[in-house]
Structure 1
Amino acid sequence: MKHSHIPETKIVDWMLGTLPKQEKEAVSSHLRQCAFCQNALKAWEAIRMEATSRSGEPPSAMKERIWANMEAQKQAKRMQHRLRWAVGLGGAALVAFLFFVRSSISGDGSVVPHEPSSDHYRYVVVEAPPERIVHHPETKRFSIEPLAHFEQLNGTIWLNDDTKEMVMEIEGLKPFAARDYQLWIVYTDNEMKGELLTIRHGASRILITGEDVKRFKQIKASLEPKGGSVTPTGPETFIVDLEHE
């Protein structure tokens, strides 16, 4: 531990007193010697003060509130930066920025960050699976089978190579204050692209169209830090292998 910094998650656990005794002693020793981690601890303590604990709240709930508070601060800073950038470029850029903000609002009114879609497919949120795809004679249907600890999930993927369209409907998505569900699209050449799932009332319904659909090999999802990850890091929630023949 002397040769590397303490992960932020462990600093938060140490601050809340939820680490095992042996780990707690090791972290305490490191903090006495590392100015970088001391500053990180001070920053988390400030966030903890803003997320004042409710009476009788368990450490696990407090931890979620601390992460949520931190992510809210990050989101506010990102939005302020984008606004300054748009205003600096002039009116047209400002209009485009406001459209981006509006289109990033989920059904419950919260901002949903979203990565740009591929040049070869378009990713959109839909209210319901389009019947023209669901009932198309060439459409293949795949049931979504959840992995351990996510048994409440259920859903379906519809894939049509002829029309180059894929629809996914999934329900039972439990909300997490400091985590996002991220969809991972795995291609036949093992290239992988990530898209954040927009959740409305515990469900997500998306439509993907474009040439790339014919190259999708696998669809899976995982829980990731707010804003998503470049590659999967969190626990996987489901995996679906696609067939094109």
Structure 2
Amino acid sequence: MIFLHRKKTILALLIAAISVSLLVTLVFVSQPAYEPQTFEVNVESDYAVNGNIPGIVERSEYIVRGRYIKPVETWEMAPGYVSEIYTFDVEQQLLGDLDGQIQIAIPKYEVVQYPLEEQVIEAKIQLPYFDEIRLEEDYVLFLTKSQLRDVLFPASVPFQVRLDTEGESHLDYNALAVEETMSAKGDRITFRRDFTDIQTIDEISGLHVEDLYEQINTAVEQAASQSQR
């Protein structure tokens, strides 16, 4: 009798376990599958954007021609705002008194956060100051003093003109304005930087180096005469 009672008890427990398992399975199956969503995040920008020589010169304390030597360090100028510091060899002064090797801090990216349900999504939004540093080519840089440390800083966006081996000017900037990332649940978050389309206002790219220097000298003289009034 005891053996029969135990057998009935085990059978009852087994039936109960199967029932619970089936119930959990039915509940799980009855829930609709999660469909990933798409989110767009607009990142506001506040840059002094210029596409011509007079506009850039107006904001500049120094204008130099030379070549980049090497990257020195990564610098977090402010929380989530990261720059690359480069050594630059000055070969010619076009405005101001800078010679020898100088250090330039170029803003590279900004870390942007977007709260999504119980998760915070982060993305590194590329900044428009520069695209790629070419160590073998000459640059004309438009600079100002940094207020945070002893380095030079871009006077404008863009702030540098690359001179290729044929003597043609290229207004150098990063046109990438979109960064995409995914959440843990598969949601797609698109971060879109809101700033002036530099290509539409670019009056510098294509100038021969002699024309570039002529425009710079004219703009520097005009700025000096206006400051003396």
TM-score by length of 2: 0.23
Of the two, which has the highest radius of gyration? 2
Q: By percentage of residues, which structure has more strand?
A: 2
TM-score by length of 1: 0.22
Structure number with greater CO (CA < 8 Å, separation at least 6) is 2
